[in-house]
Structures are given as C-alpha cells and as structure tokens.
Amino acid sequence: MLIILTSEKELDHEADQINALFKEGLQRLHLRKPNFSVDGYRALLDQIEPKYYDRIMLHQFHELTQEYALRGIHLQEQPRLDLGDALDVTLKVYANKNLKVSSSFHSKEDIVACKGKFEYVLLSPVFSSISKVGYEGKGFDVTDLDEYVIGMGGINEKTLQATFNLGFKGVGVLGGIWNAEDPLANFNKIQAVYQNVSV
C-alpha cells in the first residue's frame, strides 16, 4: 500500500493537487492538518472530488467521517494511549459504523504490546526524515511481525526497496511528495518504483 500524508501546512491549490494524485492512482490519503479547525477540514474536503472520499483517513475531527462518507480514522499515538482500556470499545464503535482505523507507533515493542486490532499501523522513523530535521531513522526490521506495518520516515523512490526488504507491507510518504517542487511528478516517480518493488 502506498499512502500519502498531507502537508501540515496549508498549500496553494492543495485540493487540486490531491485530486490529481488520486487521479494518478493514489490508494490512500491521510488528511492531517493539526492547525486546521473543523471548518478548515470541511473547506478542504469540499474541494476534493467525492468519488475519492472512500480513500481518505482523518487524523482529527473524526466525526467528519460520517458527514463525508470517508474511509476511516487514524488514531495518533498519544490519543491511542489516552484511551487505555477503552481502546477496544472505541475500535468496535468505529467498526460498527463500517469505518477503518489505523494508528501510529514509534517502536516495534509497542505494536506487539498493543491489544487493539487496526487495518494497518504506521511505524516511524524507518529512515531519517525528509520533512523533520533531526528525526533520525531507526531501520526497524519488522519481518517478524504479523501486523500490516506501513513504514514512514525518509521514504522516497531511493529508499522504497530497502523499506520492503525490512518487512514492511507498505509505505507512507510525506516529505518525499510535499517538499518537492512538483509533488505530482514526484508521486509518479515513487509510484513507478513502488509498482516494481520486489516483496
């Protein structure tokens, strides 16, 4: 699976760029705008073509999943930890609404220890981050894990094969897309390599 996370910043013509990425075959978009209000999320979603809504996971304002018939929600690490024993019940509530749930982790041990069952989990940083300075890669080897683990951190067309060699079943890309002068061209480059990766 090839996932793109949105830039944290507001970008010019962002919805147009997101629609273009979907048109080129993007499988999953994680909508993550920590500085946006719920209306900021709505304004962006209103400009994304509704036929792509079932490929979008929301990081905040999870109630919008119902309003826009989105794929599901992403539980970031701290909110997941804050749920404690209520995690199972929370996951059942979303499952009953036919919503998928993913979550973020920063160690293999935490993935193993977590009792919640997610559609997939994001583990980072695999390699040193492109978008966060000083975020050093840990080169996690997840070949021994049963979970569907998506590798994040330092992912671009040059590190894709190495990520799959470490046992990851997919990749999440942020800086490798949005730090490029032409995000769409970079996505096409990454996607071309991704389609030829040997698992």
pLDDT of residue 132: 66
Provide block-wise average pLDDT over 10 residues at a time, the chain (199 residues). Answer: 94 96 97 96 98 98 96 95 93 96 96 94 88 77 96 92 95 93 94 88
28 contacts: CB under 8 Å, gap ≥ 6: 1, 2, 3, 4, 55, 56, 57, 71
The amino acid present at 27, given as its one-letter code, is Q
Phi-psi label, residue 89: left if phi above 0, alpha if psi -120 to 50, beta otherwise: alpha
Q: How far apart are CA 24 and CA 18, in angstroms?
A: 10
pLDDT of residue 131: 66
Question: First CA to last CA across the chain, in angstroms?
Answer: 12
Q: What are the residue boundaries of the structural domains of the chain, listed by start?
A: 2-195
Looking at the structure, give the CATH architecture of the domain made up of residues 2-195: Alpha-Beta Barrel (3.20)
pLDDT at residue 117, as a whole number: 92
For 92, half-sphere exposure in the C-beta direction (CA atoms, 13 angstrom radius) is 6
**Cα dist from 8 to 36, 47, 81, 113, whole Å:** 9, 17, 22, 29
Close Cβ partners of 154 (under 8 Å, ≥ 6 residues apart): 125, 126, 127, 128, 129, 130, 137, 175
The rounded Cα 183 to chain-centroid distance in angstroms is: 16
